Amino acid sequence: MSEVEPGDGTSPYEGDSAPHRLDGPPHRVDAVPVEARAFQGQRAGIVTRTAANTVDFLLVVTVLAGGYAAWSAVKFLVNPTRFSFPAPSWLILLLCFELMLFVYFTVSWATTGRTFGDHQLGLRVVNFRGEPLRWAGAVIRAAFCCLLPIGLYWAAVSSTNRSVQDSVLRTSVVYDWTVRRRTTRRVTRPG
């Protein structure tokens, strides 16, 4: 057996300042990219928020298209000789979209504080204390965002980068690349 000498081109740690060892001190790993650290915790602007909402819109449309395809497939399997594609009205499509968007926003904001689009762009929705929204707050904010989506663009003229929904509900959308988990309080009983 031969030992691997540093600098001979065979070390898997070539270029590292220190090899990764199990018995050494743990290395500090920062989840926030170096370029983004100056923005961490600041309110997001209209461009980033619009991009995140576009990703969310496309995700919901894709899920609805998948639901339509599944509905069509079931209809075909039930009666292939008299098959025709379903033709829901625009009102039904709009209601399905709004319902799906409402559920998606509510669950995302109440559990992780971010939707998929927010995650992709490093955003998180927080309350006035900087904490994740609770279920009641997530429901109200999701309903407000579904009923008045144009309210997002108030952030373009707001000096605090807040949408109409944020201003009314005292929430903020901030840059946050960290991973947060809700901590549950342990209730201890005497005895």
Q: How confident is the model at residue 176 (pLDDT cuts 50, 70, 90)?
A: confident
Query: Which of 130, 127, 166, 133 shows the shortest CA–CA distance to 148?
Result: 166
Q: Rounded to the nearest 10 degrees, what angle do helices 90-111 and 135-147 cross at?
A: 150
Contact 97, 105 (CB under 8 A): no
| pLDDT reading at 148 higher than 80 | yes
What local confidence, expressed as pLDDT, does residue 39 receive? 79
What local confidence, expressed as pLDDT, does residue 35 receive? 74
Look over the chain and give the mean of its residue pLDDT values, rounded to a whole number.
83
What local confidence, expressed as pLDDT, does residue 133 receive? 93
* pLDDT tens string 113-138: 999 999 999 899 999 998 889 999 99
Alpha carbon distance 19, 2 (integer Å):
18
Q: How far is CA 178 from CA 47, 128, 182, in A?
A: 21, 19, 13
Q: Rounded to the nearest 10 degrees, what angle do helices 90-111 and 46-78 cross at?
A: 120
Q: Give the percent of the chain with pLDDT over 90.
A: 59
Q: How confident is the model at residue 59 (pLDDT cuts 50, 70, 90)?
A: very high
* pLDDT tens string 4-19: 455 555 444 444 455 5
16 is written with which tokens? 């590292």
Contact 10, 4 (CB under 8 A): yes
| pLDDT reading at 140 higher than 50 | yes
pTM of structure: 0.74
| pLDDT reading at 56 higher than 80 | yes
What local confidence, expressed as pLDDT, does residue 40 receive? 79
